[in-house]
Structure 1
Amino acid sequence: MSALTTSAHRITRYHVLVFIGCWLGGMFDGMDSTLMTVVLPSAIGDLVHSMAPEVIGHYGSLVGSAFLFGWMLGGVLIGMVGDRLGRIRSMILSITLYAVFTGLSGLSQTWWHLALCRFLTGLGIGGELVSITTFLAEVWPERSRAVAIGVLITSYQAGVLVAGTIVKFFPFWRTVFFIGALPAILTVLLRLTLRESERWMESKQLMREDYRLLGELFAPEHRRNLAVGAIAFGGLLIGYWASLSWIPAWIQTFFPPTEGSTQRALATMWQGSAAVVGCTLAGWLADRMGRVPTIVISYAGCFLSSAILFMTNDHFSEAIYAESAALGFFIGLAQAIMYVYLPELFPTRIRATAVGFCLNAGRLSTAIAVLFVGVIVRALGGFAQSAMLFACAYLFAVAAAWWATETKGKPLPA
């Protein structure tokens, strides 16, 4: 009898070890992803020698789009690596990419140096989120899988909190990126302690020699789930990157160029802390209310909290911290429920690739949208109006959820 059967309901020491390894990978993922958004005004201002909001918006959107294009490609390509070569190899490749190139970002001499490093960092960031979610979904006992994955996604939000803390104590942007290289140490620990997913190994043995991964991915029986997953998560991405990621730059507009770093860092810390709570509750809500109702509630909350934050503040006050926390909570809830839901839709042989596709197909439109944030900021007269425009994408995700398949109480597809 395999370990898949004997540990179907019991959480063992190895399960805990797997969870810790995946959680640390996700935490460093969130940290390295967020460092750029927190130091964006100072990094871009230093490299282009201007702190004008329209200049920061223009070059910041170029760097942000490069990162998102990398994230998109990494999520799909490293997902394919995970289905072909194994979950552990894809995790190690992802962490190596994002750790090394986050560190090299600190050596940038021009904005395009920074954009290139962020593109390569994005490859690893996108791949890691796919890898850890797929691996934990296949290893963790069925009965508590949703809760475990929801708590796992707190790792990314904890990384947001860590990023804000790093910037608070190390305000120089180059130092911040050098610190971001530390996760490379985790790759050694993963290699020494974790073993390959048994579900993946069994599925690999059953594959025909002429098996075509992409042909299976887009087979008729999977198209509806792919479309719903891509549209729903794409809505989160557009709203997230055009609103939450631009909050530090928006806050900076309330201060002189040499001030505001503490307020930016504190807002990021509040966002990250609240998002951890949202992620933690996602699996519990999904098991009680169902996956689809939880998706609808979380996305509707994202839209409403965005409206309160961006449309009711014309000067800085401490209320912005609470409103940022509310938005962070619903984004954490929305993010975690999608990571719970997507692996439950697809069989093992295409799971990582399918999850990678759903998480990143919408990232192309996000990268294009973020590319034009600088133009839209100028056209609409500020970050708040621009962010609110893109927050409307949350409503498209709510609409897509009505066509989603409920997976509550169903086993993970073989």
Structure 2
Amino acid sequence: MHADLPPAADFPFADQRPWFKLLNRYHWFVLVVAALGWLFDTMDQQLFNLARGPAMAELGGPVSPQFAGGLATMIFMLGWATGGIVFGIMGDRVGRAKTMVITILIYSLFTGLSAFSQSFWDFSFYRFLTGLGVGGEFAVGVALVAEVMPDRARPHALGWLQACSAIGNVTAAFVSMGLAPLEAAGALGEYRPWRWMFLVGALPALLALLVRRNLKEPERWQALRDSGSARLGSIRDLFGHPLWRRHAIIGLILATSGVVGLWGIGFFSFDLVRSVFRQTFESEALEAGAAQLDRAFIERLVQEPARLDEVKDRVRTPNYLIDPDARAVYRAALALHKEGRPVTPAAIEAALDSSGQTQEQRLARSVMMAPTAESSGTLTDLVDQITRRNKEMEGRLTLWAGINGLLLNIGAFFGIYSFKNVTQLIGRKPAFALTFLLAMSSTALVFSQLQQFSDVFWMVPLMGFCQIALFGGYAIYFPELFPTHLRSTGTSFCYNVGRYLAAPGPLLLGTLASSVFGGYGEVESWRYAGVTMCSFFLLGLAVLPFAPETRGKPLPE
């Protein structure tokens, strides 16, 4: 027991004091440690969102980069859900503090290993294991803070704990923005920025090592363990009691709606921004004569097909080229080479004919592959120019992805803070209802209307404010639904089984973008898919009439 941890009742006029003056040194220590654990946890999540697009482009994956990105996100979320359940139960049985330290070590280690991925599948394996730690940390961290804090300070402390998620996400955005000029200048060499992002994500392991001895278990948990009056962390007890079962199902549906909205739509705004602005940058490059460089590259390549192995190690995908016809020819050449067939102009034309090219396209591509008397430089020179141009463009896109993340999470910080205040004024249920409606509207606005650079500066923070405010509500509401012996288990069940149900959301978005709406082009496919998915916010709205109102009530024992 902690001698320096007096209960709130020891303050005779506690209700007249600001919440933060109710906290002693140990209260602050617990809040800071839990907040830092969650901050680094969310930094890891956001680094993944920033790195996902470039990683899928480099590592490949099934069907298409859009589908592969959705699948990798689903795998990460399944790990998150599994870790939340396993470590949530572990937090009830062996202690919140011990479990939180273990989860921080797990997500740090496997985030670092993600940097060394060589294929889509080992990358996804590392992300699954990272998810185990990420999911577990949230469940035990929230339970730890909820039980240590005085009753009146609890919703404020939990609100600030969740607000630290925005700081973690902003930190990830600054990491991305810091790497952008290095990428544009070619200072990172062949080691792509997304790998460096994951190496940065390994640093939180230091936090776990520094605090592991000073972090103690909550008095409520210790007293319950010592009394032996209830089984700790029992799923059977959670579902055996009608009230706790009802609360668990309601919390599960609320979480599923918000998690699909954020991870299945909102965090794919990074991909949307990269697609929209790539289109803008490519138009600028075409106006500056980029098509001439691409056509010269194709002309030289078909004259020296034996060098294709060397070339494809540097010009890794057709997207390095900007001219649409040059992209098509290079894609066909790579496919022929992979199949072990001769890469000749005739073979390329035949392959393109089978894909349904028009007569006009056939003529333009034939002219492109025909040798000319003009000297446009050696193949090596052309490859150098193309890779340099691509690094500059990727650097600009990395910068804008970072700006997107920064603004999204500035909005998120204020959204979480506002939810904390609004829910104290009008109650938990009305606050959730208002936020679900605003989240749906703002997300549809971003995916349907974002076009200009200026749009990022107001649409994205608005979406972040509305979407992530919901998660501030979860941090306050879920611990209020369950008694002490089931608090970590119940919270983790709502939040993490919700992730099991929500995990297909990113895959569904990727499928909609790549298959259902794929014929509309990359940018429009993201738009249609995102707006379609916004209907998931209505799920949370539909369950609210059945949810209990917990404002002003003590935690159930």
Measured against the shorter chain, the TM-score band is over 0.9
* Structure 1 range deviating more: 39-48 or 343-352: 39-48
Equivalent residues of 1:69, 1:364 under 8 A apart: yes
Report the Cα offset of residue 144 of structure 1: 2.0
CA-to-partner distance for each residue in 1:145-179, whole Å, 9 max, x for gaps? 11111111011121111111101112411111111
Verify: 1:168 aligned to 2:168, yes or no.
no
1:8-407 mapped onto 2 (5 Å cutoff)? 9=14, 10-48=22-60, 55-171=64-180, 172-208=193-229, 213-218=234-239, 219-254=241-276, 255=278, 256=282, 258=390, 259=393, 260-313=397-450, 315-378=451-514, 379-381=516-518, 382-407=525-550
Determine the C-alpha separation between the residues in 1 that align with 2:506 and 2:478.
25
Q: What residue identity is the alignment partner of 1:110?
A: S
1:3 alignment partner, SS class: coil
Determine the C-alpha separation between the residues in 1 that align with 2:70 and 2:7.
46
Report the Cα offset of residue 320 of structure 1: 2.5
CA-to-partner distance for each residue in 1:94-139, whole Å, 9 max, x for gaps? 1011100000000101111110010000011111111111110101
- The sequence identity of aligned pairs, in percent, is 30
Determine the C-alpha separation between the residues in 2 that align with 1:49 and 1:222.
42
Q: What residue identity is the alignment partner of 2:25?
A: R
Q: What residue identity is the alignment partner of 1:62?
A: L
Equivalent residues of 2:233, 2:488 under 8 A apart: no
Determine the C-alpha separation between the residues in 2 that align with 1:212 and 1:335.
23
* Structure 1 range deviating more: 275-284 or 92-101: 275-284
Report the Cα offset of residue 209 of structure 1: 8.2
Equivalent residues of 2:233, 2:485 under 8 A apart: no
Q: What residue identity is the alignment partner of 1:213?
A: S
Q: What residue identity is the alignment partner of 1:20?
A: V
CA-to-partner distance for each residue in 1:268-309, whole Å, 9 max, x for gaps? 100011101111222222211111111111111100101211
Report the Cα offset of residue 206 of structure 1: 2.7
Give the aligned length.
410
1:192 alignment partner, SS class: coil
Determine the C-alpha separation between the residues in 2 that align with 1:199 and 1:388.
45
Equivalent residues of 2:27, 2:149 under 8 A apart: yes
TM-score, normalised via structure 2 length? 0.71
Q: 1:204 to 1:329 in 2, by over 3 A?
A: same
Determine the C-alpha separation between the residues in 1 that align with 2:511 and 2:229.
50
Equivalent residues of 2:176, 2:401 under 8 A apart: no
Equivalent residues of 1:251, 1:316 under 8 A apart: no
CA-to-partner distance for each residue in 1:223-244, whole Å, 9 max, x for gaps? 2111110001100011111211
CA-to-partner distance for each residue in 1:182-225, whole Å, 9 max, x for gaps? 00011122213221111111111233587781211102121211
* Structure 1 range deviating more: 366-375 or 223-232: 366-375
CA-to-partner distance for each residue in 1:322-381, whole Å, 9 max, x for gaps? 111001001221110111011011001011010000001221222123223322112124
RMSD: 1.9
Q: What residue identity is the alignment partner of 2:237?
A: E
Determine the C-alpha separation between the residues in 2 that align with 1:209 and 1:358.
21
TM-score, normalised via structure 1 length? 0.95
Equivalent residues of 1:147, 1:280 under 8 A apart: no
Equivalent residues of 1:275, 1:331 under 8 A apart: yes
Equivalent residues of 2:34, 2:141 under 8 A apart: yes
Determine the C-alpha separation between the residues in 2 that align with 1:81 and 1:61.
30
* Structure 1 range deviating more: 207-216 or 251-260: 207-216
Equivalent residues of 2:110, 2:130 under 8 A apart: yes
Determine the C-alpha separation between the residues in 2 that align with 1:271 and 1:55.
26
Equivalent residues of 1:305, 1:323 under 8 A apart: yes
Determine the C-alpha separation between the residues in 1 that align with 2:551 and 2:466.
21
Q: What residue identity is the alignment partner of 2:121?
A: W
Report the Cα offset of residue 6 of structure 1: 5.4
Report the Cα offset of residue 45 of structure 1: 1.0
Determine the C-alpha separation between the residues in 2 that align with 1:212 and 1:324.
39
Q: What residue identity is the alignment partner of 1:85?
A: V
Determine the C-alpha separation between the residues in 2 that align with 1:318 and 1:95.
37
2:503 alignment partner, SS class: helix
